[in-house]
Amino acid sequence: MRVDAARNHARLLDAAARIAQEQGLKHLTMEAVATAAGVGKGTVFRRFGDRTGLLQALLQHSEDTFQAAHLNGSDQAEGRDEAIEQLRAFGVAAIRRYAQELELQTAAEPSPDERYRRAPRRSYHERVSVLLSLAAPEADAELFGHALLGYLEPALLRHLSDQCNLPLQRLERGWLELVSRLTHEATAPHDMT
């Protein structure tokens, strides 16, 4: 991508993110993004194709930013204590991210058949499993990794925050307690069938 095209792309995504966050997805139109970014509507259509393409690009931008901050160096935790801290930080960051863009995350939620095959979910599972195997070597990291990620599902977080009225801080404390219990009390051998 040319430098000016990359700059326009970033400007469009920033404008779209601002609209989604401040006004909600129902106000995220190609025209609104064009106006907020100071470009013609045709530029937005050429860049993203349609609203679905815009939503996918917005979600991918968020995903790239999150992964750069939280998935790089997954093998670099040195020892149990550092692995636990990274596991805690990963979950809290995921909860905060979803809280900021819950509407976008749930709108983009794949079908149940696709949910566990998507690249981000596989990357999250790999990260959590590596950290869990360092933090609790006796635990079945692969299986418990899926269980931990279940807590971070956008649909569940939306239910807990919107329908159950649980505050963000309680959801974060729940994650920290779950990690603590798994890493301090995991004693069952993982070779059981």
Backbone angles phi, psi at 62, to 5 degrees: -65, -45
The pLDDT of 85-105, averaged and rounded, is 90
The pLDDT of 92-102, averaged and rounded, is 90
Name all domains of the chain by residue range, CATH numbers in brackets.
1-58 (1.10.10.60), 71-193 (no CATH)
Gap between the Cα atoms of 48 and 31, Å rounded: 12
Among candidates 76, 49, 61, 71, which has minimal Cα distance to 16?
61
Tell me if 7 sits within 8 A of 43, measured CB to CB.
no
pLDDT in tens, 135-153: 999 999 999 999 999 999 8
In the chain, how many H helices and how many E strands?
11, 0
Question: Would you say the pTM of this structure is higher than 0.85?
Answer: no
Kindly list the distances between the CA atom of residue 190 and the CA atoms of 69, 126, 132, 138, 182, in Å, as whole numbers in the listed order: 30, 17, 13, 7, 13
The pLDDT of 109-137, averaged and rounded, is 83
* pLDDT for position 136: 94
Task: State in Å, rounded, how far the first CA of the chain is from the last one.
Answer: 51
Tell me if 32 sits within 8 A of 40, measured CB to CB.
no
